[in-house]
Amino acid sequence: MTAAVGAATSEMRRSFGWRTAAAAAGLLCTLLLTVAVYRMLDARDAAVFFAILAALSIGPLVGRLGLGPNVIRLVAAEPGRLGRRAIASSHLRATGVLSLLSAPLIALPATWALHDSADHLPVALLTAAAIVAESLRLTLSDVFAATGRVGASVATTHHIRSMVVLPVVGAIALAVSDPTLLDVMVSYTVVSVVHLAAALVFARRDIGWRTGGGVSTLAAALSAGARLFTLDLAAFLCLPGTVWLANAVFAPQQAALYSAAATLALQVTVVESLAALAVTPAAARLWAAGDHEQVVRVLSAVATLSTAVTVGAVGVLAAFGAQLLGFAYGPSMREAAGLLVVMAAGGIAKTALGVNITLLVISGHITKAARTALVVLTVSVPLALAAAVAGGPVWLAAASASAMTAVALAQWQGTRRVIGAAPRAGLRVSQAWQSFRHSP
C-alpha cells in the first residue's frame, strides 16, 4: 500500500468522523428549529417555511448546476497549485452567476402561498438572498474538501449554519410577542450571509481571484456540471420537491403535516449524502492512482455503516414516531408519523446503494449516471403528481419512497454494467467498521 493510498484512506476516516459529528448536531438543531417554527407560526406560514427549506435544498443545486461534485473531481486530480486555484475560481464565479439568475425563480414558487400577503415580496427576496449565499458557501466547502482542508469544509456546511440559526430564531421567539415568517427569514438570511463572508476569508489561499481559467474553462465546467445536476435534481424531486407539490395540492393543515414529515425524513436520509461528501475527494485520488479495488471496498464499508444508522433511525420512528412527534410538535403532528416512516424507509435503499453515484462520477461515467437518473424521473414524477392529486398525502409519501428506491437500484445496476463491480451495503456491520477504521 503506497503512502498516497494511506493518506487518502486516512482523510476519508477523518472527514467521515468530523462530518458525522457536525451532521448529528446540525440535524438536531434542524429538528428543534422546525419544532419552534411549527409552534410559533400559523399553519400557512409554517407550511411556507418548510417549502423555503426545500427551496434552500434545490436552490443551491440549481445555482451550482453540478459544479460542486465537478470541482471536487477536478481539483482532486490537479497536481499544480495554480491549476487548482484557477479551477476553484472558475467554479465559484460560475456559481455566483447561476445562483443570481436562478434564485428568484426558485424563491417565488416556494413562497407563493403568501401571494395575498404584504410579506410575500420581502420573504421571497430574503429567500433568494439566502439561496445565493448558500450556493456560494457550499461551493467553497467543496473546494476545501477537494484540497484536503477537512475542518474548513465541515465548518462551511449547512449543518453548521443550522447550529447558528437555531439560537437566533429562538431569541426572536422570546423577544417578539407575535413573531412572523418575515422575522424568521430575516434572521435566517443574515446568518447565511455572515457564514458566507467567513468562508470567503478562509478561502483566500484556495481561490485565484484574478485567474478564473477563461471562458473555455468555465464552459467545460458548466458542461460537466449540467450532467451532474441531473443527479441532484433526481434527489430533490424524489423527496424535498414533494413539499412544493404538497403546498400546491393539499389544504394548509395537510400541507404543513406532510411538509414537516418530508423535512424530517430528509434528515434521516441525509446520511448517504454525508458519506458521499466525506469520501469523494479521497476516493477520487485513489481511483486516479489506480487502486480501484480499494475504492470499492471503502465505499462498500461506508454504505454498510450508513445503512445501519438509517435502519436504526427508521426502526425508532416506526416504534415511537407518533409519540415523539406529538411531544415535540403537539398532538396534531401525531398524524404525520405514518408519512414520516414511509418516506424515511424509502431512504434505506438510497443509503445502501447511493455510493454507486460517487463511483460513477469519480470514474468518469458522468453521462451514464445522469442518463439513468433521467430515465427514472420520467416515470416517477408523473406518478408523484397522480398520487398527490388522486390519492392524497399517504400516496404521495409512497410515491416518494418508491422513487428513491428506484433511482438507487438503477444506479447500482448501471455501475455493475459499466465498471464490473458495484459497492453496496452488507450485513456485517462490525467487519465494515473494522475495515474502514483500520484501512491504511
Long-range contacts of 81-86 (CB under 8 A, 24+ apart): 82/208, 82/211, 84/146, 84/147, 84/206, 85/206, 85/207, 85/208, 85/211, 86/208, 86/211, 86/212, 86/213, 86/217
Q: What is the pLDDT of residues 15-65, one digit of tens each?
A: 777 777 787 788 788 888 888 888 888 888 888 898 898 888 888 888 888
Same domain flag for 390 and 339: yes
The rounded distance, in Å, linking the Cα atoms of 297 and 46 is 44
- Asked whether the predicted pLDDT for residue 108 surpasses 60, the reply is yes
Same domain flag for 302 and 427: yes
Residue from 235, 247, 232, 236 nearest 388 by CA: 247
Cβ of 428: how many Cβ atoms within 10 Å? 12
Same domain flag for 241 and 179: no
- Pull the grid cell for residue 343: 418516506
Mean pLDDT to the nearest integer, 197-213: 77
Same domain flag for 180 and 240: no
Contact 329, 38 (CB under 8 A): yes
SS3 label, residue 176: coil
Last residue of a domain, one of 159, 187, 213: 213
Same domain flag for 299 and 339: yes
Give the position of cell 455510493: 355
Lowest mean pLDDT among 111-120, 277-286, 366-375: 277-286
Residue from 298, 22, 287 nearest 157 by CA: 22
% pLDDT > 90, the chain: 25
Same domain flag for 184 and 143: yes
Contact 88, 143 (CB under 8 A): yes
% pLDDT > 70, the chain: 90
Mean of per-residue pLDDT scores for the chain:
84
Decide if 2 is inside a domain: no
Position 156 scores a pLDDT of 92
Position 14 scores a pLDDT of 72
The rounded distance, in Å, linking the Cα atoms of 68 and 194 is 21
Decide if 174 is inside a domain: yes
Decide if 4 is inside a domain: no
Same domain flag for 261 and 400: yes
Position 382 scores a pLDDT of 92
Report CA torsion sign: 117, 177, 30, 35.
Answer: negative
Task: Give the contacts of 267 (CB within 8 A, at least 6 positions apart).
Answer: 27, 30, 31
Residue 4 amino acid letter: A
Decide if 305 is inside a domain: yes
pTM: predicted TM-score of the whole model, two decimal places:
0.71
CA distances from 301 to 355, 405, 424 (A): 10, 20, 8
Q: What is the pLDDT of residues 392-417, one digit of tens each?
A: 999 999 999 999 999 999 999 999 99
The rounded distance, in Å, linking the Cα atoms of 332 and 40 is 14
The rounded distance, in Å, linking the Cα atoms of 103 and 233 is 15
Contact 241, 54 (CB under 8 A): yes
Decide if 104 is inside a domain: yes
Number of structural domains, the chain?
2
Same domain flag for 254 and 391: yes
Residue from 268, 351, 276 nearest 19 by CA: 276
Position 440 scores a pLDDT of 47
Same domain flag for 262 and 169: no
Contact 336, 260 (CB under 8 A): yes
Mean pLDDT to the nearest integer, 138-165: 88
Last residue of a domain, one of 213, 245, 271: 213
Same domain flag for 297 and 428: yes
Same domain flag for 256 and 359: yes
- The rounded Cα 82 to chain-centroid distance in angstroms is 30
439 conformational bin, left if phi > 0, alpha if psi -120 to 50, beta if neither: beta
- Asked whether the predicted pLDDT for residue 352 surpasses 60, the reply is yes
Task: Give the contacts of 99 (CB within 8 A, at least 6 positions apart).
Answer: 59, 60, 62, 63, 64, 131, 132, 135, 136
> What is the domain range of residue 306?
226-439
- Asked whether the predicted pLDDT for residue 220 surpasses 70, the reply is no
- DSSP label of 291: -
Backbone torsions φ then ψ of 187, nearest 5 degrees? -65, -40
Position 1 scores a pLDDT of 46
- The rounded Cα 303 to chain-centroid distance in angstroms is 17
Report CA torsion sign: 226, 228, 230, 235.
Answer: negative
Same domain flag for 27 and 75: yes
Decide if 219 is inside a domain: no
Last residue of a domain, one of 213, 245, 262: 213
Decide if 102 is inside a domain: yes
Decide if 430 is inside a domain: yes
Alpha helix (H) ranges present in 176-291? 181-202, 214-238, 241-249, 252-288
Residue scoring higher pLDDT (325 or 212): 325
The rounded distance, in Å, linking the Cα atoms of 137 and 176 is 30
DSSP string, 110-151: HTGGGTTSTTHHHHHHHHHHHHHHHHHHHHHHHHHHHTT-HH
